[in-house]
Amino acid sequence: MEAKLHEHGTGVGHVSHTRAGGATASASSSLAALGDTRLLLLGIWLGAAIFFSFAVAPSAFAVLPARELAGAIVTRTIGIVNVGGIITGLLLLATAFAGRGRAAKRGWLVEIFALALLVLGTGIGHWVISARMAALRLALGRPIDEVAQNEPLRLAFNNLHGYSVAAMTTAMLAGLAAFILIARRNRKA
Residue 96 lies in a domain: yes
Q: Is the pLDDT of residue 119 over 90?
A: yes
For residue 126, the model assigns a pLDDT of 98
Q: How confident is the model at residue 186 (pLDDT cuts 50, 70, 90)?
A: confident
Residue 145 lies in a domain: yes
Residue 175 lies in a domain: yes
Asked whether 60 and 74 are in contact (CB, 8 A), the reply is yes
CA nearest to 130, candidates 153, 157, 90: 157
Asked whether 88 and 172 are in contact (CB, 8 A), the reply is no
Q: Is the pLDDT of residue 14 over 50?
A: no
DSSP of 90-103: HHHHHHTTTTGGGS
Q: Is the pLDDT of residue 18 over 50?
A: no
pLDDT, one tens digit per residue, over 43-102 is 999 999 999 999 999 999 999 999 999 999 999 999 999 999 999 999 999 999 886 766
Angle subtended by helix axes 131-140 and 67-95, to nearest 10: 160
Q: Is the pLDDT of residue 175 over 70?
A: yes
Give the count of domains, the chain. 1
Residue 31 lies in a domain: no
Residue 122 lies in a domain: yes
pTM of the model: 0.83
For residue 163, the model assigns a pLDDT of 98
Q: How confident is the model at residue 24 (pLDDT cuts 50, 70, 90)?
A: low
Answer with the residue of higher pLDDT: 121 or 102: 121
For residue 103, the model assigns a pLDDT of 66
Q: Is the pLDDT of residue 9 over 70?
A: no
pLDDT, one tens digit per residue, over 143-171 is 999 999 999 999 999 999 999 999 999 99
What DSSP character marks residue 141? Answer: -
Q: Is beta strand 2-7 parallel, antiparallel or unpaired with respect to 13-18?
A: antiparallel
Asked whether 46 and 179 are in contact (CB, 8 A), the reply is yes
Residue 72 lies in a domain: yes
CA nearest to 177, candidates 89, 91, 114, 102: 114
Residue 152 structural domain: 37-188
